[in-house]
């Protein structure tokens, strides 16, 4: 029988095809005629850890091998080749049956022979090899060690045979023999030296040098080492000049030892360097482009065995001449003219693998001649510009460090222990660094330099904007000169534009604001802004309204600090006032208002399409604009901005800027204007649900209107006061205010005011139980509104009257009035009143059993109230929604809406709204059969209506209460409420 392992595993009998029996056979042939313990076999088959069935698998594999090697022979028969014993197995291999034995015998014989006989024996020994030992068997540690020993023996035999052939002058035989061998082992210096010698001797010098270059490259790529002295000597003999003992030139500066972050950028650069396209690292001055380039270069340098070269393009000197000298060319070989140097550089790098770093590139024309030509070369360019014209380049932006990366870098420099003691101060320091890597490094170095300086004290220094750039300096590591260099590279036009953009004190602004500030046509301004973005002096991204929003980095703004240009600033604030007024007009309209002539049409349309979004992104800048206009003494502009800001944000959320317009007219002692602004502020507070502040404003407005004899104004203030008083339970005061308002408005002939007061009186009389007076008031209101210039008051009166008709069961009449009112409010583009009408329609549909249409109307009403920011009115819609869902049997959703309504009414102090919500909540609990909670809610609602003086609503609550509480305690109260209704026991 024969066994062969010097190549694929084979035998003179068919072997099992399964992997495990063949692997077991390989182990037994590595140790023939020896017992191999079962544990050894298990470790060999499963080096990473055996399964629980390992012993059974080994036993099965042995069984298959026995059947193949000794077919029909019993296990315990002496003829059995594969026997068990000593907790293991032994494979009997006789002399001459294993090719390894024959190889060893031939090698030993060759060692004793001489001359041609020795060569013949060595040839025969190598002839036994059919490939790599155990080539087709997955091996474990034992067989792998045996394979390496066999390969080493073969290599020794091959070397001895080659030495014999070289000594005999048979160089062609050596070349033929070693070509395939070196292809399999390109980094074998001994084989490469022999093959190069052989090729050189048969006249193939170029091929010999190519063999040496490939070996040198393989050594560098796989082991990071240079050729040894023996191979260097071979190169010197063949080439006439030798490789330097230090290998290819490496001009890379040391990598930054505390380099932190940039994992994504490093990975992207690493991938890009696999191809010849230049990698352009572009970013702001001080962003860490150079540190990133060097870090990436050190990671990949083994892929470029012919050298790594670096040049700073700001330095004086000929870059190409320096590169050529670094690659070993003598001074006499370098052409004097630039064209010749470019040509030599490109030809010299055509077949090499060189990595080049070009720092501080300023233009594409400067970079192109310096690019190596070979496909195995790579280039990293660092630049403050994007260099978009560098065809085929792979751009990688080096942006601001993330908060986590900034924190890690600061800790790596200043020490984690020190930073951990003052986490809040660390955040303040990093906020001042604005994610600029140089600034973070300077801050960390300053803290390291001064161990007694607390982080909090350093943060306080940095927060002083006048000191910040001076504080961000340690030794020659300084932020100010780096930013100054970047600004110095700009054209005069760019520098002037950047200074204008930095003058208002805002950190970010929309394109329309920048256009107004620059005082240029939109196209020209956009081109200028794009240039500054390309130079990383501005950041740009679209905001939620579709405008491009620009951000001026804080440190750049400080480096530019100059007095603002008043003309440019006033131009920009005027544009902001116009757009704010346009957004305010669009806020309450269903359709966009007419375009303004003082702003570009495209900007005007976009603001009108989403005034809420515009308000949200511009509110901080708008507040700053109010203060800036006032500080510059531009009073009228400040008033415009303040009024628009108050309309958009509301006086409660807007803070002091929203009240600035009022302050201006108060300082002027302009009582009529002051009264008008107070009335407007009161309505804004009422819309936001702040009834206490609203009443204060209305009272102050009434007093000022009276003092100047303005009857229409006084009447408007009294109507507004009555509305707040009715909601908060001051029904007597509300009736008195409305009566006085009607008298004043009648005397001055204000028909719209009379219609408004009459409609409000009608709703109040209905709540008080006087249906006759309520009808009279609504009839008067509708008649008066027909004679007004526009139909808006008629729609409002119709809405109020429809609510009363619905509560009294007159559904058809209510429906006609509401349909007309809805058409009118949509035509007049009043979103606020459209939402009110939709709520009333939702109530009507709920009452008539059309739950689907009711939900549609109420959902749209909620949407509109939330859009215009009327929290108070939205709470009434939530109450209506809860009642509608209760009637439809959706108790869970009804409870959610009613809970939200009650919570809002409680927060706003609206007792009447709270009573409505409690009444619906009590009805809901009654429908659910929870009598105790129902009775409690209805009893509380009745008591609240009694305190407010609304007997009709009290009676409704008591009626529902009697259905769940049979005690009769509410009967006396019901009689009392009914008496009030019948005999008019209402506020005088």
CB 324 within 8 A of CB 341: yes
Residue with tokens 């100010």: 480
pLDDT in tens, 567-595: 888 888 888 888 888 887 777 554 456 66
Work out the percent of the chain whose per-residue pLDDT is above 70: 91
Q: Which helix (H) or strand (E) holds 91?
A: strand 88-91
What is the mean pLDDT of the segment spanning 897-915?
Answer: 86
Three-state DSSP at 905 gives helix
Using the Cα atoms of residue 721, residue 723, residue 724 and residue 725 in order, give the sign of their dihedral. positive
**Residue 473 zone, left/alpha/beta (φ > 0; ψ -120 to 50; rest):** beta
DSSP string, 315-366: SSS-HHHHHHHHTT--GGGS-SSHHHHHHHHHHHTTT---EEEEEEE--HHH
Q: Report residue 836: phi and psi, to 5°.
A: -60, -45
Mean pLDDT value across residues 28-50:
88
Largest pairwise CA distance in the chain: 144
Task: Give residues with Cβ within 8 angstroms of 438, minimum separation 6.
Answer: 285, 286, 287, 288, 477, 479, 482
pLDDT at site 987: 46
DSSP state letter for 769: T
Q: Categorize the per-residue pLDDT at 326 as very low, low, confident or very high, splitting at 50, 70 and 90.
A: confident
Read out DSSP for 381-422? EEESS--TTSTT-EEEEE-PPPHHHHHHHHHHHH-HHHHHT-
pLDDT value of position 654: 46
Which candidate, 942, 943, 938, 945, places its Cα nearest to that of 961?
A: 938
Please tell me whether residue 827 adopts helix, strand or coil conformation: helix
Average pLDDT, the chain: 83
Angstrom distance (rounded) from CA 981 to CA 958: 14
Looking at the predicted structure, is the pLDDT value of residue 977 above 90?
no
CB 681 within 8 A of CB 647: no
Q: Using the 8-state DSSP alphabet, how is residue 302 labeled?
A: G
Neighbours of 420 (CB within 10 A): 10
The answer to whether 675 and 713 have CB atoms below 8 angstroms apart is: yes
Give per-residue pLDDT as tens, 922-960.
Answer: 888 888 888 888 888 888 888 887 787 777 777 788 888
- As a three-state string, the secondary structure of 551-568 is ECCHHHHHHCCCCCCHHH
More confident residue, 214 or 891: 891
- Please report which confidence band the pLDDT of residue 320 belongs to, taking 50, 70 and 90 as the band edges: very high
In the structure, what pLDDT confidence band is assigned to residue 651 with cuts at 50, 70 and 90? low
DSSP string, 562-608: ----HHHHHHHHHHHHHHHHHHHHHHT-SSPPPPPTTS-HHHHHHHH
Span 124-141, average pLDDT: 87
Q: Is the pLDDT of residue 983 over 50?
A: no
pLDDT digits (tens, 9 = 90+) for 742-777: 888 888 888 888 888 887 888 777 777 777 787 778
> Does residue 962 register a pLDDT over 70?
yes
Those residues with Cβ within 8 angstroms of residue 135's Cβ, 6 or more apart along the chain or in another chain: 7, 8, 9
Tokens, residue 499: 């200074």
Q: What average pLDDT does the segment 810-831 reach?
A: 80
- The span from the CA of 843 to the CA of 911, in Å, is 21
Three-class DSSP category at 88: strand
Measured distance CA(622)–CA(508) in Å, rounded: 12
Count how many Cα atoms sit within 13 Å of the Cα of residue 208 in the half-sphere of its side chain.
Answer: 25
Looking at the whole model, is its pTM more than 0.85?
Answer: no
Residue (of 292, 258, 262) closest to 411 by Cα position: 258
- Distant-in-sequence, close-in-space partners of 289: CB < 8 Å, separation ≥ 6: 281, 282, 283, 382, 383, 398
Question: What is the C-alpha separation between 224 and 320, in angstroms, rounded?
Answer: 27
- pLDDT score, position 982: 43
pLDDT recorded at residue 668: 58
At residue 716, the pLDDT reads 86
Tens digit of each residue's pLDDT (9 = 90 or more) over 266-307? 999 999 998 889 999 999 999 999 999 999 999 999 889 888
Residue with tokens 């429906």, as numbered in its chain: 815
Angle at 612 between CA 506 and CA 552, to 5 degrees: 20
- CA dist 360 and 354 (Å) reads 20
For residues 902 and 881, what is the distance between their CA atoms, to the nearest angstrom? 13
CA distance 514 to 526: 9
Choice among 210-219, 659-668, 794-803 with the minimum mean pLDDT: 659-668
420-454 pLDDT per residue, tens: 999 999 999 999 999 999 999 999 999 999 999 99
With DSSP H G I counted as helix, E B as strand and the rest as coil, what are the percentages for the chain, rounded to 5? 65, 5, 30
* Tens-place pLDDT, residues 483-497: 999 988 888 888 888
**What is the C-alpha separation between 614 and 622, in angstroms, rounded?**
11
Find, among 371, 299, 315, the residue nearest to 342 by Cα. 371
CA dist 339 → 346, 390, 730 (Å): 11, 20, 95
């Amino acid at each position: 029988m024969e066994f062969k392992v010097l190549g694929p595993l084979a035998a003179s009998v068919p072997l099992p095809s399964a992997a495990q029996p063949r692997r077991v056979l390989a182990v037994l042939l590595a140790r023939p005629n020896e017992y191999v313990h079962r544990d050894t076999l298990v470790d060999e088959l499963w080096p990473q850890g055996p399964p629980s069935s390992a012993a059974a698998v080994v036993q099965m594999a042995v069984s298959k091998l026995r059947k193949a090697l000794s077919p029909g022979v019993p296990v315990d028969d002496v003829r059995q080749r594969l026997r068990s014993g000593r907790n293991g197995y032994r494979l009997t291999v006789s002399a001459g049956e294993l090719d390894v034995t024959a190889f060893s015998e031939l090698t030993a014989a060759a060692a004793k022979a001489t001359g041609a006989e020795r060569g013949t024996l060595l040839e025969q020994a190598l002839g036994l090899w059919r490939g790599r030992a155990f080539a087709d068997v997955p091996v474990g540690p034992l067989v792998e060690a045996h394979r390496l020993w066999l390969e080493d023996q073969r290599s020794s035999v091959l070397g001895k045979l080659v030495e014999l052939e070289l000594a005999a002058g048979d160089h062609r035989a050596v070349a033929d023999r070693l070509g395939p061998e070196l292809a399999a082992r390109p980094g074998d210096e001994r084989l490469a030296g022999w093959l190069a010698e052989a090729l050189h001797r048969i006249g193939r010098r170029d091929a010999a040098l190519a063999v040496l270059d490939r070996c040198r490259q393989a050594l560098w790529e796989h082991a990071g080492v240079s050729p040894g002295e023996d191979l260097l000597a071979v190169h010197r003999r063949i080439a006439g000049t030798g490789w330097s003992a230090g290998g290819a030139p490496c001009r890379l500066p040391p990598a930054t030892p505390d380099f932190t972050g940039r994992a994504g950028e490093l990975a992207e650069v690493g991938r890009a360097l696999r191809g010849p396209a230049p990698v352009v690292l572009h970013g702001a001055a001080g962003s860490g482009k150079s540190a990133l380039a060097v870090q990436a270069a050190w990671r990949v340098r083994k892929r470029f065995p012919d050298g790594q070269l670096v040049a700073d393009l700001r330095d004086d000197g000929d870059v190409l001449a320096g590169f050529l000298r670094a690659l070993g060319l003598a001074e006499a070989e370098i052409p004097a003219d630039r064209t010749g140097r470019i040509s030599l550089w490109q030809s010299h790098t055509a077949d090499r693998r060189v990595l080049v770093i070009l720092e501080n590139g300023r233009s594409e024309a400067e970079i192109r001649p310096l690019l190596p030509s070979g496909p195995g070369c790579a280039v990293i360019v660092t630049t403050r510009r994007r260099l978009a014209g560098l065809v085929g380049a792979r751009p990688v932006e080096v942006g601001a460090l993330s908060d986590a990366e900034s924190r890690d870098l600061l800790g790596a420099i200043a020490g984690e222990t020190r930073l951990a003691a003052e986490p809040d101060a660390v955040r303040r320091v990093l906020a001042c660094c604005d994610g600029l890597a140089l600034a973070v490094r300077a801050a960390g170095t300053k803290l390291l330099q001064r161990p007694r300086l607390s982080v909090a004290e350093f943060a306080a220094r940095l927060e002083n904007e006048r000191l910040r750039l001076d504080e961000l300096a340690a030794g020659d590591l300084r932020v100010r000169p780096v930013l100054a260099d970047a600004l110095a590279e700009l054209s005069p036009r760019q520098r002037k534009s950047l200074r204008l953009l930095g003058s208002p004190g805002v950190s970010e602004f929309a394109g329309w604001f920048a256009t107004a500030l620059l005082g240029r046509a939109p196209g020209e301004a956009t081109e200028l802004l794009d240039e500054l973005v390309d130079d990383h002096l501005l950041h740009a991204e679209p905001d939620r309204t579709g405008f491009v929003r620009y951000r001026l980095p804080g440190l750049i703004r400080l480096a530019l600090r100059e007095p603002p240009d008043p003309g440019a600033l006033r131009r920009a604030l005027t544009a902001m006032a116009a757009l704010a007024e346009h957004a305010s007009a669009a806020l309450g309209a269903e359709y966009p208002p007419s375009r303004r002539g003082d702003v570009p049409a495209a900007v005007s349309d976009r603001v009108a399409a989403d005034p809420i979004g515009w308000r949200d992104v511009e509110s901080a800048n708008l507040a700053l604009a109010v203060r800036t206009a006032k500080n510059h003494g531009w009073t009228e502009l400040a008033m415009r901005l303040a009024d628009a800001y108050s309309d958009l944000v509301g006086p409660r959320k807007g803070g002091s800027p929203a009240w600035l317009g009022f302050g201006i007219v108060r300082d002027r002692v302009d009582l009529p204007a002051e009264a008008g602004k107070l009335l407007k502020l009161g309505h804004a507070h009422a819309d936001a649900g702040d009834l206490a502040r609203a009443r204060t404003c209305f009272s102050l407005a009434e007093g000022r209107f009276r003092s100047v004899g303005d009857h229409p104004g006084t009447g408007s203030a009294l109507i507004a006061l009555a509305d707040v008083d009715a909601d908060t339970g001051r029904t007597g005061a509300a009736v008195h205010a409305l009566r006085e308002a009607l008298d004043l408005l009648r005397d001055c002939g204000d028909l719209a005011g009379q219609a408004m007061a009459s409609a409000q009186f009608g709703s109040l009389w209905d709540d008080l139980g006087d249906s006759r007076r309520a009808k009279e008031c609504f009839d008067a209101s509708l008649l008066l509104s027909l004679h007004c210039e526009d139909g808006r008051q008629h729609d409002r009166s119709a809405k109020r009257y429809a609510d009363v008709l619905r509560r009294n069961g007159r559904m058809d009449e209510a429906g006609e009035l509401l349909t007309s009112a809805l058409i009118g409010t949509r035509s007049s583009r009043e979103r606020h009143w459209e939402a009110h009408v939709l709520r009333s329609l939702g109530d009507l549909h709920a009452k008539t059993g059309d739950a689907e249409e009711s939900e549609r109307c109420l959902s749209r009403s909620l949407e509109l109230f939330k859009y215009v920011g009327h929290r108070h009115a939205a709470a009434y819609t939530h109450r209506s929604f809860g009642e509608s869902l209760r009637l439809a049997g959706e108790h869970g959703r009804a409870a959610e809406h009613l809970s939200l309504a009650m919570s809002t009414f409680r927060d706003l102090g609206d007792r009447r709204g709270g009573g409505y919500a409690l009444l619906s909540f009590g009805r809901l609990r009654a429908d659910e059969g929870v009598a105790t909670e129902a009775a409690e809610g209805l009893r509380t609602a009745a008591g609240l209506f009694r305190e407010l003086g609304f007997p009709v609503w009290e009676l409704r609550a008591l009626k529902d209460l009697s259905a769940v509480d049979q005690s009769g305690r509410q009967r006396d109260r019901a009689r009392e409420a009914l008496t009030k209704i019948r005999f008019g026991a209402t506020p005088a």
